[in-house]
A = this chain, B = another copy of it.
């Protein structure tokens, strides 16, 4: 992943992002990061205090990117259901899984409050924005009054995260697609009711 026109610290963060996604925190060694970034031991420990410090920088950047991409669909045109549908069905590297959700399974991430915070915040903001979209849809009469926006927002995020899990287990994106179609079908039926 060596990229010539990029600062060493920048390259280290980008390599860490990629390796955290592929192998998780426990499975990613400082040595692997250094090799991937084309940097020596000394460089890494000059720019970062250690593995957790570097991981924190990488996680924050990935989290910001994820929320920005989600906002593209949430703030887009269409009904609430159309925007949520666009979000769930947009092109994704389903078999690679969610770069943030993956970290929630890592015991070393969950055990460290500094590292867990950006993961928690990411899901909290996603859920919050989805709840706003759903509330809007209910006010516009696109969805029934009985729908609980907060609970349903959590459900949508959970279907996304769980869909990733099923797809990786199966080695196929089909189960992700099914899970998404299922929840969209339930939401559509609710709208019609």
Residues of A in contact with B (beta carbons under 8 Å apart): 22-24, 26-27, 97, 100-108, 110, 116, 119-120, 122-124, 127, 144, 146-148, 150-163, 165-166, 168-171, 175, 178-183, 185-187, 189-190, 192-193
Whether A23 contacts B107 by the Cβ 8 Å rule is yes
Whether A185 contacts B110 by the Cβ 8 Å rule is no
Whether A163 contacts B169 by the Cβ 8 Å rule is no
Known: A26-B26, A158-B158. A123 touches B182 (CB 8 A): no
Complex CA–CA separation, A148 to B123 (angstroms): 28
Question: Looking across the interface, which residue of chain B has its beta carbon closest to that of A146?
Answer: B189
Question: Looking across the interface, which residue of chain B has its beta carbon closest to that of A190?
Answer: B189
Return the 5 tightest CB-CB contacts between A and B, nearest first: A158-B162, A155-B182, A162-B162, A161-B162, A151-B182
Best-buried of A101, A150, A162, A163 by chain B (most CB within 10 Å): A162
Cβ-defined partner of A189 (8 Å) among B100, B153, B189: B189
Q: In the complex, what's the smallest C-beta–C-beta distance from A104 to chain B, in angstroms?
A: 4
Which residues of chain B are within 8 angstroms of A166 by Cβ–Cβ distance? 104, 123, 127, 154, 157-158, 161
Whether B163 contacts A158 by the Cβ 8 Å rule is yes
Which residues of chain B are within 8 angstroms of A180 by Cβ–Cβ distance? 155
Question: Looking across the interface, which residue of chain B has its beta carbon closest to that of A126?
Answer: B166
Question: Looking across the interface, which residue of chain B has its beta carbon closest to that of A118?
Answer: B169
Q: In the complex, what's the smallest C-beta–C-beta distance from A184 to chain B, in angstroms?
A: 9
Question: Looking across the interface, which residue of chain B has its beta carbon closest to that of A98?
Answer: B165
Which residues of chain B are within 8 angstroms of A22 by Cβ–Cβ distance? 107
Whether B193 contacts A120 by the Cβ 8 Å rule is no
